[in-house]
Structure 1
Amino acid sequence: MLWTIIVTIVGGAVIGLIGKAVAPGDRTKFPLWLTIVCGIVGMLVGSLLYWVLVGNNNESFDSHEPTWDNVTNGVDWMRHVWQIVVAAVAVIAASILTGRKRA
């Protein structure tokens, strides 16, 4: 349980920072905690969207069925792309909701 929380926070920070970097406009005055929240949202929602749209028809691998958080054998790069895109959308939405202005 503790490991899941640590991975979620660290992964959320990485995905959130990448999402903030690819989001259009200047949003550098964004607080770090909100970036991490956007990254966590990007991780979860991006994984679920990828699973629903393209990942749920994969074949079994390593003697287990694919799940929403483990779709392929190895690193699932396309799922991470989906996560970054969703995190970028979350950054844009958070900046609009918090009244952050472009510089």
Structure 2
Amino acid sequence: MDSVGTESRWVEVGMVEDVPRQGARVVATPRGDVAVFRTLDDAVFALDDRCPHKGGPLSQGTVHGHAVTCPLHNWVIDFKTGEACAPDEGCVTRIPVRVQDGRILLAMVA
């Protein structure tokens, strides 16, 4: 069970090397598209592929540090929190990620 009382299962969605450094790949899931990001330091994060501002495709944004800049209106979204950086306000859903033996696994609600 996760923190909200629902059960999650881990689903393999690819290998770390499938995602370019400072880039993203889109994974289609039953809950909608998820953007899987890889940072320059090889950290992997996953967010819903919709900016909280106007729904822009975050997977097409610019990855820098541990954040992504939306390609539509330059909102910056922090990977660790899903929050828009000030002065913007909003939040995108974060998807828990595990990396095991170079494989990327996402937590999907069962």
TM-score (norm 2): 0.25
Larger relative strand fraction: 2
Q: Between Structure 1 and Structure 2, which shows a larger proportion of helix residues?
A: 1
Larger radius of gyration: 1
Q: Which structure has more RCO (C-alpha within 8 Å, separation ≥ 6)? A: 1
